Structure 1
């Protein structure tokens, strides 16, 4: 049977050496070779692979952010290397200092390839929230249509792109899935029986993920990046570590329900449970049901591995936002039992920085109180007010309406 799920991404994580652009070029070439090979292997097995990605540790550890001019020049060279290698998505990790965060809008403005995040260190850090809000607003004013915020988010304990990052000296890889079709396949068959819906989800996900897991393990054991270089024989291996002897470390599968493109709308799957329309009473219970199923999967999992409700990446959520079926704080309430916080949420272009910072503090309060991985990827849309219709050039974003920030 043709797989119901799609491979949202093959993501390779690596650590870059400080201030060594020549070494970056070689590491990125190896990484590009691996994800390209992994894509071909998965496509040969019948999977649609939507993206491949590379993530590093925080760029503040390999670029001197105290010299903004030199740092930006290093990123220009990096961007040119990514373009030459055909790497479409690279995450430079989180900014953790005011100097690093101030650099992010200029990095994002270089083009669509490089993403980054800004880490929120705690729940009551008003100054940090204000700096994050300033970065969001600056990106909205310096990129076409404010769409550069697709490449940036405020992060709270989360590893999910664009807040992903790599830790450790050795490279590793993970696979992320687009699993909306699995919900559409399983949930309507429950006939409104909630425990049965959860059991069907666990069974469906398990059946679909185990073959993918087998391929990932094969990639880890057998792959050697086909890139010439004087140290290629030792590339990405640690001497004396048998687990690294034949290829790259495999971290697992992020089985998150993360809609993208023309996937079956999550709203339809939720509403098949008979609890009402998305946004009405019962929505929180449905979100908890899906999240609970994902946490019981008997497969190698990693990353966020939860339910995401991004208004601009799911056609049903986008329509609901345009119809006023739910509000921005409803999304926060749902995040208490799932996630991902406030992801791809359009807000007025003239939203005051203080109000945006207060909203970020709300997300931080939830993330740190519940020890949950959340993000805030907010899109202030220039020239748009709350309730206005909005469209985007980015083909991954749905047309919707601007949320009010109360």
Structure 2
């Protein structure tokens, strides 16, 4: 059966969440434990033929353990942490590190320089709160919008924004970067995240091929799509959970799986999933209905706790099909926001005009945040202003993670 093919389901990440404090003498041992844990668990998955793509470490808010009195002090201490990460990582697996959330004005202002100098080892987020009247903290949103602009100006092609996001209604234990953060009041834990677009596409292809001459009602068709996708996803999660259940480790507690499809430029596009659901292209009529169905599938997992987003991810410049869709003018930012109402993750890796004002960036953040709290779901904003480019211009990203596409406009 096609859905049992383990090459179609990859473990995108084993993500550990740990707390550090001001005692620098403890840092090396904590990082060593996390690295060794991830490497050992990845070997367990490899033994049953699941590929592990990356290992990740997320800390509590960096202001709780780094000296943030000035940037030079912060940089010096972070260089020490980087040396430990390099010492205990492995050449076979990509290592990524998140410094948690920035909580104060001073910490937020440090992020552009940290990200510029340390890149993939300095993933960070800002969690936006609301008041009792459900009004978002606009001062922090404006500060975050300034960070987005500054990162775009001091990193080549603005690619540093890959490592920064603004979170709304997000909880700890998101395994995907840069939305990840840890709460020091919680114990050290870990989460597994998956990459499943290949699985979704092949399962749907198989179903459609077997039923191409059948006259099936729309209601029955979508119920069948739900069943075959849900069963396929559950099969692999059961296999992964069995490994977890048999792996004993006292340093990190298993808290759940993020069932999101987590697309990348190296697997099938989520657009291909929409195609198999008889949607001509993402953004065409039927897209919202398909998004809702897919979200229902990701939420259907049994026998294991779901954490993080556990929903549909539409990461524009990490997905070749979505990137092409920007060139074809298949969708705009409002399309992404509309679909976020029935799925997730918000506005993720969206290329925008380089001269987009801070005011407009803050406004689209507030729209996203309002939806997140009103609908009680986690949403994020990760925008990529591209210096010098206007709507419709084509990017020239050099990062291995990013797909080139047309720049969108924040209206």
Q: State TM-score, norm by structure 2.
A: 0.89
Q: Which residue of 2 aligns with 1:173?
A: 190
Aligned to 1:61: 64
Q: 1:261 to 1:43 in 2, by over 3 A?
A: farther
The answer as to 2:328 corresponding to 1:323 is yes
Equivalent in the alignment of 1:118: 126
Taking a change above 3 Å as real, the CA distance of residues 362 and 197 of structure 1, as seen in their structure-2 partners, is: same
Equivalent position of 1:351 in the other structure: 356
Tell me the residue number matched to 1:200.
228
Match of 2:169 among 152, 157, 168: 157
Instruction: Give the aligned partner of residue 12 of structure 2.
Output: 8
1:29-71 Cα shifts (integer Å, max 9, x gaps): 1111111112222122211111110001111222243444322
- Aligned match of 2:35: 32
Q: Distance in 2 between matches of 1:203 and 1:316?
A: 25
Distance 1:95 1:51 in 2: 24
CA 114–348 in structure 1, closer or farther in 2 if over 3 Å, else same: same
The secondary structure found in structure 1 opposite 2:166 is strand
Deviation at 1:250, TM superposition (A): 0.9
The question of whether the paired residues in 1 share the 8 Å contact of 2:125 and 2:181 is answered with no
Higher mean alpha-carbon deviation, 118-127 vs 208-217, is at: 118-127
CA–CA distance in 1 between the matches of 2:379 and 2:400? 24
Residue 226 of structure 1: aligned partner: none
Of residues 119-128 and 278-287 in structure 1, the stretch that sits farther from structure 2 once superposed is 119-128
Residue 252 (str. 1) matches residue 259 (str. 2)? no
Are 1:94 and 2:101 counterparts? yes
Query: What is the distance in 1 between the residues matched to 2:198 and 2:363?
Result: 36
Aligned to 2:25: 22
Cα offset, 1:277, TM superposition = 2.4
> How has the CA–CA distance of structure 1 residues 286 and 24 changed in structure 2, closer, same or farther, with 3 Å as cutoff?
same
The Cα of 1:210 is off from its aligned counterpart by 0.5
Which has the higher mean CA deviation after the structures are superposed, 105-114 or 207-216? Answer: 105-114
1:84-143 Cα shifts (integer Å, max 9, x gaps): 333721111111221111111121112222200112122432222110010111111111
Counterpart Cα distance in 1 of 2:300 and 2:235:
13
Q: For each residue in 1:286-344, what CA deviation from the matched residue of structure 2 results, as whole angstroms up to 9, or x when unmatched?
A: 00001011112113122211110011111111111111100011101100010110111
Structure 2 stretches lacking a partner, 5+ long? 212-217
Report the alpha carbon displacement of residue 255 of structure 1 after superposing the two structures with TM: 1.2
The residue matched to 1:37 in structure 2 has which SS? helix
Question: Which secondary structure does the structure 2 equivalent of 1:216 belong to?
Answer: helix
Cα deviation, 1:242-267, whole Å, max 9, x if unaligned, reads: xx4xx531112111011013211111
| Kept in 1: contact 2:259–2:299 (CA 8 A) | no
- SS class of match (1:365): helix
Q: Does the CA contact (< 8 Å) of 1:72 and 1:106 recur in 2?
A: no
Match of 2:215 in 1: none
The answer to whether the 8 Å contact 1:76/1:110 transfers is no
TM-score of the aligned structures, taking structure 1 as reference length: 0.90
Q: Classify the secondary structure of the residue corresponding to 1:9.
A: strand
Query: Residue 84 of structure 1 aligns with which residue?
Result: 87
Say which is worse superposed, 272-281 or 344-353, in terms of deviation.
Answer: 272-281
The equivalent of 1:264 in structure 2 is 268
Please say if 1:75 is aligned against 2:103: no
User: Is 1:367 equivalent to 2:372 in the alignment?
Assistant: yes
| In 2: Cα distance, 1:269 partner to 1:195 partner | 16
Distance in 2 (CA, whole Å) between partners of 1:267 and 1:2 is: 21
Residue equivalent to 1:186:
203
Tell which deviates more after alignment, 392-401 or 333-342: 392-401
* Matched positions, count: 381
Provide the rounded CA distance (Å) in 2 between the counterparts of 1:285 and 1:2.
Answer: 28
Matched residues in 1 for 2:150 and 2:82: separation?
Answer: 20
Runs of 4+ in 1 over 4 A off after TM superposition: none
Contact (CA 8 Å) 2:356, 2:385: kept in 1 or not? yes
- Note the residue ranges of structure 1 that are not aligned, 5 or more in a row: 224-243
2:156 counterpart of 1:144: yes
Q: 1:388 aligns with which of 393, 397, 409?
A: 393
